[in-house]
């Protein structure tokens, strides 16, 4: 057997594998004997089938199987042994015709694409801007208000002072300025001016005992579901309601925001984590900064890619081979759409090769500890979305372990951890031009 390769150009090559009968004959005999030991063939005891019968029954199929196995092993061993950095997978040469059944000696040819050499040093000669988003007093105040509302308690009051108050009462349908005879009567309902879409102003400063005339259909802007819920009727009946209603206010519930005391501080950040107003404000500011950091990192990834691609310069890819390979291996690509689809992905393919070069140069590796840490962080962020910022580590650990049991979730975490390590490697290697900007200025970066 002889394996060799010849370069067509800098990006394309052909691997040739020449095999003779002697290269695969013993494999075929061994495989046939194995068939004979396992096969149930009428007229013969298992393990006592004459070899000639096995050849006649299974010879062609086993020959094809063993030749293909030998070719595959030889091909990938050659690529590995010769450290050929290929793109995609080897493709059978288009002009090749092989008759495995009739021929005994074969020459298999495979087209391969050679990855371009990337000659760039990622160091402080490359400058990349890094934008820290300033945490404004307004952000701190808004977050504080959210915390105070979340830790607050419901109290009954005589008069409404906020749109978020809950107004409870009875309602009767009106017609021509008077109660409609036989009209809809709602014994008890609750609404909040903050969540109705119109006529909010009619509930400004309303007091217990007041009567408010308003149009529920207008308030719900013809949302039949909301109207049906307000009037405690079915959707079909609600669709016909257009009249005003008079609401007699029987109770007003107000959410009283929590005060800044030790109980409040402990409820937000854990027992004795902060002990006074100054520490609380600093902790809130720190928390917001941590929430904004991923935005800064995302912007950095865009600017770093741009700077590194400029340092790498033009990177030629074997486009025709890659198009052919994509059509052969992915159902969503066809001869008709591959030109357009390849055009969309070419820049990302080049960037992927550059990232592989960076990972290899800096020996970037993802350990189990990295994956577990990311799973914990993702779980923590999921709880934080629901305002739960003080979840015990034990609970986070349990949820993250469940996440890691899923093969799909684990694969996604590995990809994210690898991407994060490459970005961190770039950040540590290049020269950072750190700038502090406002959220408004940061948003304009993406408009540009």
Least confident of 52-56, 152-156, 408-412, 428-432: 52-56
In a domain, 269, yes or no: no
Tokens 């996604």 belong to which residue?
A: 412
At residue 387, the pLDDT reads: 66
Q: Which DSSP category does 85 fall into?
A: -
Q: How far apart are the first and last CA of the chain?
A: 60
Pair of tokens at residue 167: 């107004």
- Residue from 416, 409, 403 nearest 370 by CA: 416
In Å, what is the CA distance from 309 to each residue of 85, 160, 297, 316, 408? 20, 60, 18, 13, 31
Alpha-carbon span 207 to 27, nearest angstrom? 94
Beta strands in 199-278, from DSSP E residues, in sequence order = 211-214, 245-256
Whether residues 417 and 381 share a domain: the answer is yes
- Residue 406 and residue 304 share a domain: yes
Give the whole-number percent of the chain exceeding pLDDT 90.
69
Q: Is residue 71 part of a domain?
A: yes
Give tens-digit pLDDT for 194-241: 988 888 899 999 999 999 999 999 999 878 999 999 999 999 999 999
Which tokens sit at 68?
């293909």
Long-range contacts of 420-424 (CB under 8 A, 24+ apart): 420/374, 421/359, 421/364, 421/365, 421/366, 421/370, 422/355, 422/358, 422/359, 422/364, 423/297, 423/300, 423/301, 423/304
Whether 217 is covered by a domain: the verdict is yes
Residue 90 · residue 394 · CB < 8 Å: no
Q: Judge if 79 and 187 occupy the same domain.
A: no
Residue with tokens 């909040």: 192
Q: Is the pLDDT of residue 74 over 70?
A: yes
Residue 266 inside a domain? The answer is: no
Q: Do 180 and 93 lie in a common domain?
A: no
- 338 plus 377 within the same structural domain: yes
CA distances to 298, 352, 375, 402, 435 from 409, in Å? 22, 22, 9, 10, 35
> What six digits make up the tokens of 47?
């393990």
Q: Is 389 exposed, middle or buried (0-12, 13-18, 19+ CB in 10 A)?
A: middle
Contacts of 35 (CB under 8 A, 6+ apart): 54, 58, 62
Provide the token pair at 303: 């600017």
- DSSP, res 87: E
332 shares its domain with 387: yes
Query: Quick one: tokens of 330?
Result: 């992915």
Give a yes or no: residue 273 inside a domain.
no
Q: Considering Cα of 352, then 355, then 360, then 363, what sign does the dihedral take? A: negative
pLDDT at 77: 95
Average pLDDT over residues 296-301: 96
Residues 433 and 309 in one domain: yes
**Please, is 99 exposed, middle or buried when counting C-beta atoms within 10 Å of its C-beta (0-12, 13-18, 19+)?**
exposed
242 vs 310: CA distance, rounded Å: 64
DSSP state of 259: P
Same domain, 246 and 289: no
Tens-digit pLDDT profile for residues 77-122: 999 999 999 999 999 998 788 888 888 899 999 999 999 999 889 9
Is residue 128 very low, low, confident or very high in pLDDT (cuts 50, 70, 90)?
very high
Residue 400 has a pLDDT of 86
Span 314-318, mean pLDDT?
91
Position 389 confidence tier, pLDDT thresholds 50, 70, 90: low
For residue 376, pLDDT over 70 is answered with yes
pTM of the model: 0.73
- The three-point CA angle 425-442-373 to 5° equals 40
Q: Read off the CATH number of the domain in which 344 is found.
A: 1.10.3120
Strands 86-92 and 12-19: unpaired
> Which residues, including other chains, have CB under 8 Å from residue 26's CB and lie 6 or more apart?
none
Same domain, 193 and 339: no
Instruction: Give the C-alpha separation, 312 to 354, whole Å.
Output: 8
Question: Residue 279: inside a domain, yes or no?
Answer: no
Q: Mean of the pLDDT values across residues 423-427?
A: 95
pLDDT tens per residue across span 159-186: 999 999 999 999 999 999 899 999 999 9
Looking at the domain assignment, is residue 276 inside a domain? no
38 within a domain of the structure (yes/no): yes
For residues 6 and 101, state if they share a domain.
yes
**Integer Cα distance of 409 and 404 in angstroms:** 6
Those residues with Cβ within 8 angstroms of residue 362's Cβ, 6 or more apart along the chain or in another chain: 122, 425, 429
Question: What CATH number did the domain enclosing 15 receive?
Answer: 3.30.70.1050
d(CA 249, CA 168): 6
CA angle 129, 135, 141 (to 5 degrees): 165
Query: Is the C-alpha dihedral spanning 48, 51, 52, 55 positive or negative?
Result: positive
CATH number of the CATH domain containing 240: 3.10.50
The structural domain count of the chain equals 3
Domain span including residue 219: 153-256
Query: Are 169 and 34 part of one and the same domain?
Result: no
Claim to verify: residue 134 and residue 161 sit in the same structural domain: no
Query: Residue 145: in which H helix or E strand, if any?
Result: helix 137-150
């Amino acid at each position: 057997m002889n394996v060799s390769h010849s370069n067509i150009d800098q990006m394309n090559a052909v691997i040739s594998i020449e095999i003779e009968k002697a290269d695969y004959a013993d494999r075929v005999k061994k495989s046939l004997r194995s068939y004979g030991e396992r096969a149930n063939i009428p007229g013969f005891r298992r393990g006592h089938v004459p070899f000639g019968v096995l050849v006649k029954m299974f010879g062609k199929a086993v020959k094809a199987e063993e030749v293909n196995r030998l070719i595959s092993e030889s091909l990938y061993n050659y690529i590995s042994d010769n450290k050929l950095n290929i793109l995609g997978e080897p493709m059978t040469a288009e002009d090749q015709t092989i008759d495995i059944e009739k021929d005994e000696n074969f020459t298999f040819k495979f087209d391969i694409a050679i990855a371009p050499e990337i000659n760039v040093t990622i160091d402080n000669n490359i400058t990349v801007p890094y934008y820290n988003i300033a945490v404004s007093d307004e952000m701190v105040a808004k977050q504080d208000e959210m915390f105070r509302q979340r830790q607050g308690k419901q109290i009954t009051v005589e008069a409404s002072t906020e749109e978020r108050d809950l107004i409870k009462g009875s309602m009767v349908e009106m017609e021509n300025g008077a109660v409609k005879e036989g009209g809809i009567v709602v014994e008890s309902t609750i609404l909040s001016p903050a969540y109705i879409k119109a006529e909010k102003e009619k509930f400004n400063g309303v007091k217990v005992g007041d009567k408010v005339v308003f149009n529920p259909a207008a308030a719900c802007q013809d949302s039949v579901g909301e109207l049906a819920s307000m009037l405690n009727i079915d959707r079909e009946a609600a669709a016909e309601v257009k009249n005003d209603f008079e609401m007699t206010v029987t109770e007003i519930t107000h959410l009283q925001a929590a005060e800044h005391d030790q109980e409040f501080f402990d409820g937000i950040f854990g027992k004795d984590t902060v002990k006074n107003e100054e520490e609380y404000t600093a902790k809130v500011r720190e928390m917001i900064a941590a929430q904004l950091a991923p935005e800064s990192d995302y912007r950095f990834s865009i600017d770093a890619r741009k700077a590194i691609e400029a340092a790498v310069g033009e990177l030629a890819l074997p486009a025709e081979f890659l198009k052919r390979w994509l059509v052969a291996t992915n159902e969503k690509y066809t001869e008709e759409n591959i030109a357009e689809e390849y055009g969309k992905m070419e820049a990302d393919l080049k960037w992927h090769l550059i990232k592989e070069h960076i990972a290899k140069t800096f020996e970037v590796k993802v350990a189990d500890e990295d994956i577990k840490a990311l799973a914990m962080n993702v779980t923590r962020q999921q709880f934080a979305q629901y305002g739960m910022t003080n979840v015990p580590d034990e609970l986070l650990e349990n949820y993250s372990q469940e996440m890691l049991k899923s093969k799909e979730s684990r694969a996604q975490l590995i990809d994210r951890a690898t991407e994060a390590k490459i970005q961190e490697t770039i950040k540590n290697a290049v020269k950072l031009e750190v700038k502090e900007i406002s959220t408004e200025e940061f948003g304009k970066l993406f408009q540009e």
